[in-house]
Amino acid sequence: MKAAATAPAGGRWGWLDRSEIWRPTAYATAGVALLVAGLVAFWPSDRLLGAINSWTVFHYTIGTKYFDELGYFDLYDGVLLADAEDSQVLSRHVGRTRDLRSYYWISTEAAVARARSEGIRARFSDARWAELKRDLRAILRLRAPRDWMQPLLDRGFNPSPAWLIIHRPLLGAVELSGKRALLALCSIQLLLYLISFAAAWWGFGGRATLLGTVWFLLLFSNWSIKQPAYFSGDWLCLTVCAAALYRRGHLLAAAPLLAYAAMMRGFPGLLALHPAVVWLWRVVRLRRPHGRHTRFLVALVATCLLLVGLGSLTPRGFDAWLQWKDKITVHAKNHRYTANIVGLRQIAVHDFAGGRWPMSHQERERVTEGYQLPYLVAASILLGLTLLAMLRRDDHDGLLLGLAVIFFLLILSRYYISVALLLFTWQGLTRRQALLANIWLFGLELGYYAQLLLLSPTVRQRYVFFNLGLLVYFCFILWIFLRRDVHWLRSGRGADDTPPIPGLS
């Protein structure tokens, strides 16, 4: 029984026998699917290698390099002021921007006037101000002038202060005004994707990795992050690597990688909920937690504390973290009413009774408040069931149940759902169950595109469809595990903490 519980990825108790993944026909089929998915994902040519994602580069390079002067709230004001004194590309072609303190839109003239009144220029030395103008000119050339309106209506620079300590030295060593150097810097992300692909193959086996990769390439929300960009997907790569290490039993090595992803984007930290819940459960019930969980949690917390300390070394000190908290609070409040987000809460941002989809921000806010109590009740029930399901799962499947918690509790930007590619790596599902689950995930993608091509619904309708599909998916997974646990307890083996394994219960 013990050996079965720790069977290797793709072994007897996985949804696919390891012997099957070595068949040449399987690799040929998967290779063709991967090629087709890649061509679809990176078509047309402006998404091919060489087309830098200017939207992401603008926020991550300027926001990082000039954080000391601009912080989280003055990025757009400072950039518009520098442009007004230099090339005036934005002044001529961008009529409005987002106020990062309130998230309302204001005119570019008002933003420049506020930048002057608040003395943003005085925060820079002459050399730093000239450098900002030079870097800005180089980045503005990556995009047609008329197309800079949307990036300046975005939601600013959001990585935590820990990001700054790691990336400012790197940006300081590269001349951003050189397009080749900038392309080389941004292409590092593509190398990270290859590393995470290799790690997934090692950790989960070939079929699961190929299926997850095809799903990732076809995912409608991923067009922007698959271009050369400045480390916008590092959190995903390290999360995949951490999950692969965790699956192979290297929990101590997985902890720092997951901690980094959590400190950069926050929500990956919920993947550590399973070891924390099991550790606490065993302390309360048996007074003897698993040593591997103790070491993992200690390493995770220690890495997080280290990153907090490093992030406090900026001239803004620990206050940078307080400003980040304020920024994320405003960001989350505004994001709640956005059309293209992922999460259970998003389903309740609609007037289902009235059948109205196009609504003003104020109407969406009113409708959301009306659904607040039903959402809290549903989320609490689903969270409780997920925690119960975690108690008797093995380490890997318990980790994946953290994705359900993320979906139930948080509001995610559309590209963060990329982490759902890990859902192709369940170890505790039978072949039939995994086949149904995988078909459902691909069906959600195909359904989204079918809506887009045949029905022309609003963005909000498409995302409601997708979120409802994910809700059904996670309920299906919880039903499988909890049904198995009930059978396990009824069999009289409730005192045994060994997770129930398909075929043994």
At residue 350, the pLDDT reads 63
Whether 139 contacts 54, CB under 8 Å: yes
User: Would you say how long the chain is, in residues?
Assistant: 505
At residue 14, the pLDDT reads 40
Distance CA 374, CA 344 (A): 11
Choice among 203-212, 282-291, 393-402 with the minimum mean pLDDT: 282-291
Q: Where are the domains of the chain?
A: 2-40+189-490, 54-157
| Distance between start and end Cα atoms, the chain | 10
Task: With a cut of 60, say whether residue 138 has pLDDT above it.
Answer: yes
Which long-range contacts does 175-181 make (Cβ < 8 Å, 24+ apart)?
Answer: 176/61, 176/65, 176/134, 176/135, 176/138, 176/139, 177/134, 177/135, 177/137, 177/138, 178/138, 179/52, 179/138, 179/141, 179/142
- For the segment 393-413, the average pLDDT, to the nearest whole number, is 93
Could you tell me which of 41, 366, 427, 370 has the C-alpha nearest to residue 208? Answer: 427
Phi, psi values for residue 106, rounded to 5°? -135, 165
At residue 220, the pLDDT reads 79
Whether 240 contacts 200, CB under 8 Å: yes
Task: With a cut of 60, say whether residue 262 has pLDDT above it.
Answer: yes
- The token pair at 38 is 């890649």
Task: With a cut of 70, say whether residue 471 has pLDDT above it.
Answer: yes
Task: With a cut of 80, say whether residue 13 has pLDDT above it.
Answer: no
Distance CA 88, CA 270 (A): 44
How far is residue 250 CA from its own chain's centroid?
Answer: 23
pLDDT band (50, 70, 90) for residue 489: confident
Place of tokens 């380490």: 395
Task: With a cut of 80, say whether residue 62 has pLDDT above it.
Answer: yes
CA distances from 435 to 44, 153, 321, 480 (A): 32, 42, 44, 13
Q: What is the pLDDT of residues 77-104, one digit of tens each?
A: 999 999 999 888 888 888 899 999 888 8
Average pLDDT across the chain, whole number: 82
Distance CA 421, CA 407 (A): 14
At residue 129, the pLDDT reads 95
Amino acid at 23: R
pLDDT band (50, 70, 90) for residue 17: very low
Q: What is the pLDDT of residues 341-362, one digit of tens each?
A: 888 888 876 655 555 555 666 6
Cis peptide before 44 (omega within 30 of 0): yes
Whether 478 contacts 386, CB under 8 Å: yes
Task: With a cut of 80, say whether residue 136 has pLDDT above it.
Answer: yes
Place of tokens 């070394």: 313
Place of tokens 């318990």: 398
Whether 172 contacts 180, CB under 8 Å: no
State pTM to two decimals.
0.85
